[in-house]
Structure 1
Amino acid sequence: MPKTSKCGKFICLNSDIKFLLGVNYFPRKSNIKMWSKWNMDDIRNELNVMRSLGIRAVRFFIIAEDFMDNYGNINEDTVRKLKEFLDLLREYGIIGFPTLFVGHMSGRNWRVPFLVNGDPYDEESITRFTQFVTNIVNELKNHEALGGWILTNEISLFKRPENRDRALAFLSAVTSAIKRIDPNHVVSSGDVFYGPMQEEPNVRGMVDYIGPHLYLYHDDPVLHGYLYGAHLDLASNGGSSPVLLEEFGFSTLQYPEEWQARFINEVLYTAIAHESSGAFIWCFADFINDKDPPYEWRPLELGFGIIDKFGKPKLAADVVSEFSKTMINLEELGLYNRFRRMPKTTVVIPFYAYKDYEFVSYKDYSSVLMSDILLTMVGAQVRVVYELDRERIGDGLVLMPSVPLALTSTWDYLLSSVKSGSNLYVSLLRQSFHESPTHLWDELFGVKPSSWAGSKGRVISGNVKISIKHDFGSLRAGDSLSITVGNPTYLYEVKPTDATVIATLNDDLPVVFMTRRGNGVVILSIIPFEHIITVTGKYMEVLPFYKALIDLMGSQQIAYSSLPELEVQTFYGDNEHLLFIINHSINDVVGSIKLNGKVSRVERIGGLGDVKLNDNVINVNIERKSGLALRIE
């Protein structure tokens, strides 16, 4: 029996860390009617294709109407088919992750017989569902093809819980029942990423990993690519829990096959480079029955497969096959064991993004994602930590980007941390006029408010000029930055007490300050750079500031790119390192990877592109939306 377990920030398979390259699965011919139109021969043929592509894991779905009655009692005939399916998985060396509550699927909400008033969070509904889950887990817990349990498929889309507490009560009740019966396999919630059941501090101990479902869209292809890695960083909470990308993909009824394939390649390299424990593509095959619900009114759902409706591999299948070979090579070298990421920068997720406080209505953390992206672009390696998990913040550079406020206890903690040698960057977003972001203006930042009572502060919009008044990392006094502000943005007006003015707005208002507290440095910006860029997408305008920040703090990796579209992630070993280089551009890119330290040899492990070491610089020619894996000595 394969045992899956949480091993620190990874999922272990029989005590080994393996990247779980997987797919979400319904058969090509029967789609969501897999159990009612059971055909073992069709499934066997598709599993054979999966094995040939290097697929290690399959997520599949227990459809309520096929498996249970109104009280959660199981249908023995369908359970027999379920066991037959797992037997087939075992035959082909693939592990399975059954999803237990499938109310929402592919743009439709399906009938769940046992629910009381259609509410899965009702106490009686939970009791009935727990009984059903208990029966299924008892039947399958010792099967050699079982990989883990996924509690739901995006239950918040089926019915959004009234509040966070109801969602977590549901999660706690059912996952605890699973774990009592089967302590040998991992469990996740399967909910949408921005739902309460995917918030790591709130579900830690209930689930074994965080499983994002990501279908992201953006105007800028480079930012779009970076967003996947930033979400994985956010999900992990600084390595507190493993992350497995449970769903991602696009339909070839939206985009050409080539771009679907390139996107999948980009995300697979991103997932492995951000220490994800695996990635499950949505989905294995296109479907042929276009008049079945919900496909008749959701034709998009017919075309997500890496295999087309005739059973022929799409271009994405070749990408998966090649990636699986690279993945094996990396594991043989010791990826995730001998080689690990070593982030020196920490971005903090504000408390209000995942905890309920009275009269605090801020919920957005897009600035956290943008800060992660900007830092990565300028060569830093990032982890993201939730504010209330302060003990995970650690040393190095800490960033609180575009925050309207933080807890007073957090400011106290950060002041103490800076005095002990950490460095801090804070930018402020004025989302409410009846607010103060901190109680330590002077003690921490060396400034104090200067506006007249009742003032809304300084408003900026359009193009603004930031003038550098004091040397700051790679920025020199006399330099300037031009920033486009998309929406009118109000700024706090403050004046220094003992802080040094680093930059002013239009040669007038001081906007960036630096002060020393004990053994550390504090940088304060009253311009919310990260929030501004989430609106405009003009990241190139802010990169010089972020580069100066990283240069000042000495937070760069051993290897970093000369171009922002090339992401670099370093996995450090004793005498050699692994590099992942990901091209987030829609163009092939020729660029250079600069090295902080002497490198004598570069070996290409896999990926789409060429590399050459030249005078301690790695010159790369890398295909669009693709990745490279290198070993350097």
Structure 2
Amino acid sequence: MVLLIEGRPWLGANFWSRAGGPLMWRQYDPALVRDELQVLREHGMNLTRSFFFWPDFMPAPDRIDPELVRRYADFLDRHHELGMRTIPTFVVGHMSGENWDPAWRRGRDLYADVWMVARQAWYVRELTARFHEHPAVAAWLISNEMPIYGEPSTRDRVTAWAELVVQAVRAGGGTQPVSVGDGAWGIEVTGVDNGFSVRDLAAITDFVGPHVYRMENDIVRQHLTAAFVCELAGTMDRPVVLEEFGVTDNFVSAEHARHYYRQTLHNSLLAGATGWIAWNNTDYDDLYDQDPYRHHAFEMHFGLTDSTGRPKPQLAEVREFASVLDRVDFARCTRAPGQVGLLVPSYLEHAYPFTEDSDRTYLFGVLRQSYVATRAADLPVRLLRERDGIPDGLALYLVPSAKQLTAPAWRLLAEVAQDGATVYVSYSPGGNGVQRGPWYADLNGMFGVEHQLRYGLVDPIEDDEVGVRFLDALGPIAAGATLRFTTGGDEHSRAYLPVRPTSARVLAVDGRDRPVLLERTTGRGRMVLCTYPIEHMAAALPSVNPEPTHAVYDALAVLAGVERPVTVADPLVHAATLSHEDGRRFAWLVSQSPDPLTVRPTVRGGLAGLEDWRPLDELTLPPFGVSVLNLLPDS
């Protein structure tokens, strides 16, 4: 499902006027607001996310400021004049490094205090009743990053609070889509339980809205993290809107800001996002003595325009992205059904008895690095949550650097292999010293080996680089070829699995002739074991991508018969496709190279220019460039 405005997907910016920032409603300037919106509209945007600054809009427990309501009504009218819409956000107590309370709150718990929840519900209902019929309202958001403002709480309290305030939107007459505005930072995405369960909240709302601002140590991971978060959020059977993302000029050059926007927009699109709301519309240099900018000076410079209203390079990037959305008629495009499943263990989102918090957070890094490798191998991947069951019918299942799955999940993986799939599992003892080792239902039987582990001990990887030599050809990997993996991890996780093959065939060995990749055929399929935690090793290292895991995945995809309409040999260029309902298909080529890169894609059918339909065998991508092309039918 795609949330649309007059047939176009949501594309916009979080909005505070440069006259006032969060205090804009105290000094509202209608003409300036119209000018600010006009710039966004001219660059292809059709949406803003706007904010009822709670201390101002609700100065008393039973009162909403009528003058600010009038000003917000004018704000909606300005949107309507320009053919734009907005998403009002109700409980805005946190903003850009500062928390503001209504004076009357007096420290009362926002989730568990019945009177306090009733006041919020009243406030939400009353504002919805005033504005729900206005044509400029696209949707509603309950809060802005409530886990920061209200702080984490228990899952039952948060979900009950959310259900009541969502019901208040409906009681006020709001029929538009509604979501929470929490950032999708819950346990199902991050492995950290803040009470805001993405799963529970998705069940009572209409879309999931990740907020992604990551400090990273690898540029490819940085460019794909928002996409990976969208993939995780997209497993909740709700549209995914990238509700907040952006960069501050304090932390990034103008050129690299444009690169970041380009990569985030296109990669998240390919990851299933169907709406984008950048942070934010403008800079605030004139507000240097006003909180939060006084003490968080970098927050002044997240804008798509500078403090005079002049467009910045990243706004030009948004305009180009909007043009691509229109040219491919994105609202009627879909991703191809993935033939490759990346398994998300239930241990990411569930605290099983006597397990460690780090068992969950470890998984985020491993899964993200595995996702990076699937993109480098141009695999049509989908994320499979163990908690929701492991579907059959895929060609290739990936279980990267796995310490833990439930026993029934291991049985299901053995069954899908028996039925014809290729199941790949790489070993890991985990990231802590608690019950350190493989929690597998039947390691030896599944993989045709006898493990040689010693109780309570790991087998440390001795070398800083592991050379993996292939004994026979595997897909495009020639017999005798060697892949070199840099070793990462700590005293717990930097370890390999010593095994002796029984019914398994050794595909590759390390520099000490120990088995690294083994294959056991079973029924119509196969189980493939990697005895090194190659995804975790990469996840633990800075500036590591591209690294050779993509080559292993590529070879497994060939072995499994995975269909890939477009591939590029260079792992710095990621290829993916979308299909239009009228039969047209489009190819995306996304470069992770800081330099221009010329590539010759391998294509079934052919490629042609998006507008001129000129056939292309070779093309040059600019630094961190994206090319969107027509994918021609097979001859």
- 1:357 maps to 2:352: yes
- 1:558 maps to 2:565: yes
- 1:166 maps to 2:162: no
2-structure distance, mates of 1:478, 1:566: 26
Equivalent residue number for residue 339 of structure 2: 344
477-486 or 303-312, which moves further after superposition? 477-486
What amino acid is the match of 1:24? N
576-585 or 49-58, which moves further after superposition? 576-585
Equivalent residue number for residue 224 of structure 1: 222
The alignment partner of 1:522 has SS state of strand
Equivalent residue number for residue 30 of structure 2: 40
Equivalent residue number for residue 190 of structure 2: none
Answer yes or no: is the 8 Å Cα contact 2:516–2:532 preserved in 1: yes
What amino acid is the match of 1:602? A
1-structure distance, mates of 2:257, 2:5: 29
1-structure distance, mates of 2:391, 2:140: 28
The alignment partner of 1:515 has SS state of strand
Answer yes or no: is the 8 Å Cα contact 2:341–2:381 preserved in 1: yes
Answer yes or no: is the 8 Å Cα contact 2:125–2:171 preserved in 1: no
Higher strand share: 1
Equivalent residue number for residue 84 of structure 2: 94
Equivalent residue number for residue 608 of structure 2: 602
Equivalent residue number for residue 587 of structure 1: 595
Q: 1:289 aligns with which of 272, 287, 290?
A: 287
Equivalent residue number for residue 3 of structure 1: none
- 1:314 maps to 2:312: yes
Q: 1:263 aligns with which of 260, 265, 269?
A: 260
- The C-alpha deviation readout for 1:19-60, integer Å capped at 9, x for no partner, is 211101000122111111112111112122222222111001
Answer yes or no: is the 8 Å Cα contact 1:244–1:277 preserved in 2: yes
Answer yes or no: is the 8 Å Cα contact 2:587–2:631 preserved in 1: yes
- The C-alpha deviation readout for 1:99-139, integer Å capped at 9, x for no partner, is 12222211111114464625322232322212211112222
- The C-alpha deviation readout for 1:257-314, integer Å capped at 9, x for no partner, is 2322232223222233333111111111111211111111111111111111112222
- The C-alpha deviation readout for 1:551-594, integer Å capped at 9, x for no partner, is 22232520112222222211135754111222233322222221
- The C-alpha deviation readout for 1:125-158, integer Å capped at 9, x for no partner, is 3222122111122222222111111222111122
The alignment partner of 2:19 has SS state of coil
Answer yes or no: is the 8 Å Cα contact 2:424–2:528 preserved in 1: yes
Answer yes or no: is the 8 Å Cα contact 1:398–1:425 preserved in 2: yes
Residue ranges of structure 2 left out of the alignment (5+ in a row): 188-194
Do the aligned partners of residues 258 and 529 (structure 1) sit closer, same or farther apart at CA in structure 2, a change above 3 Å counting? same
The alignment partner of 1:97 has SS state of strand
Q: CA RMSD in A?
A: 2.5
Answer yes or no: is the 8 Å Cα contact 1:116–1:122 preserved in 2: no
2-structure distance, mates of 1:519, 1:204: 38
Q: How does 1:100-249 map to 2 (within 5 A)?
A: 100-113=90-103, 115=105, 117-124=107-114, 125-179=116-170, 181-182=172-173, 184-196=175-187, 200-237=198-235, 240-249=237-246
The alignment partner of 2:368 has SS state of helix
Give the deviation of 1:174 after TM superposition.
Answer: 2.1
Equivalent residue number for residue 457 of structure 1: 459
473-482 or 281-290, which moves further after superposition? 473-482
2-structure distance, mates of 1:38, 1:414: 60
What amino acid is the match of 1:156? P
- 1:49 maps to 2:39: yes
Equivalent residue number for residue 303 of structure 1: 301
The alignment partner of 1:513 has SS state of strand
Q: 1:440 aligns with which of 430, 439, 442?
A: 442
Equivalent residue number for residue 627 of structure 1: 626
Give the deviation of 1:548 after TM superposition.
Answer: 1.6
Do the aligned partners of residues 436 and 591 (structure 1) sit closer, same or farther apart at CA in structure 2, a change above 3 Å counting? closer
Equivalent residue number for residue 425 of structure 1: 424
169-178 or 365-374, which moves further after superposition? 169-178
1-structure distance, mates of 2:331, 2:398: 26
2-structure distance, mates of 1:564, 1:345: 18
What amino acid is the match of 2:52? I
What amino acid is the match of 2:508? A
Number of aligned residue pairs = 610
What amino acid is the match of 1:374? A
Equivalent residue number for residue 501 of structure 1: 506
2-structure distance, mates of 1:440, 1:226: 34
Equivalent residue number for residue 412 of structure 1: 411
512-521 or 572-581, which moves further after superposition? 572-581
What amino acid is the match of 2:219? P
Answer yes or no: is the 8 Å Cα contact 1:462–1:484 preserved in 2: yes
The alignment partner of 1:85 has SS state of helix
Do the aligned partners of residues 170 and 585 (structure 1) sit closer, same or farther apart at CA in structure 2, a change above 3 Å counting? farther
Answer yes or no: is the 8 Å Cα contact 1:233–1:382 preserved in 2: no
Do the aligned partners of residues 476 and 627 (structure 1) sit closer, same or farther apart at CA in structure 2, a change above 3 Å counting? closer
1-structure distance, mates of 2:324, 2:378: 24
Answer yes or no: is the 8 Å Cα contact 1:56–1:93 preserved in 2: yes
2-structure distance, mates of 1:11, 1:485: 44
Give the deviation of 1:389 after TM superposition.
Answer: 1.3
Give the deviation of 1:401 after TM superposition.
Answer: 1.0
Equivalent residue number for residue 519 of structure 2: 514
2-structure distance, mates of 1:542, 1:83: 54
Answer yes or no: is the 8 Å Cα contact 2:94–2:148 preserved in 1: yes
Give the deviation of 1:418 after TM superposition.
Answer: 2.3
Q: How does 1:611-626 map to 2 (within 5 A)?
A: 613=615, 618-626=617-625
TM-score normalised by L of structure 2: 0.90
What amino acid is the match of 1:166? R
Do the aligned partners of residues 123 and 556 (structure 1) sit closer, same or farther apart at CA in structure 2, a change above 3 Å counting? farther
TM-score normalised by L of structure 1: 0.90
Do the aligned partners of residues 73 and 389 (structure 1) sit closer, same or farther apart at CA in structure 2, a change above 3 Å counting? farther
The alignment partner of 2:220 has SS state of helix
- The C-alpha deviation readout for 1:61-112, integer Å capped at 9, x for no partner, is 1111111145364222222222221122111111111112222211111114
277-286 or 152-161, which moves further after superposition? 152-161
Give the deviation of 1:442 after TM superposition.
Answer: 3.5
1-structure distance, mates of 2:415, 2:596: 47
Equivalent residue number for residue 191 of structure 2: none
2-structure distance, mates of 1:319, 1:36: 33
336-345 or 85-94, which moves further after superposition? 336-345
Give the deviation of 1:236 after TM superposition.
Answer: 0.8
2-structure distance, mates of 1:487, 1:355: 24
- The C-alpha deviation readout for 1:140-197, integer Å capped at 9, x for no partner, is 2222111111222111122432333333333233224334555632222222343347
What amino acid is the match of 2:346? F
Do the aligned partners of residues 323 and 457 (structure 1) sit closer, same or farther apart at CA in structure 2, a change above 3 Å counting? closer
Give the deviation of 1:524 after TM superposition.
Answer: 1.5
2-structure distance, mates of 1:71, 1:443: 65
Residue ranges of structure 1 left out of the alignment (5+ in a row): 1-6
2-structure distance, mates of 1:433, 1:525: 22
1-structure distance, mates of 2:68, 2:242: 28
Answer yes or no: is the 8 Å Cα contact 2:428–2:438 preserved in 1: no
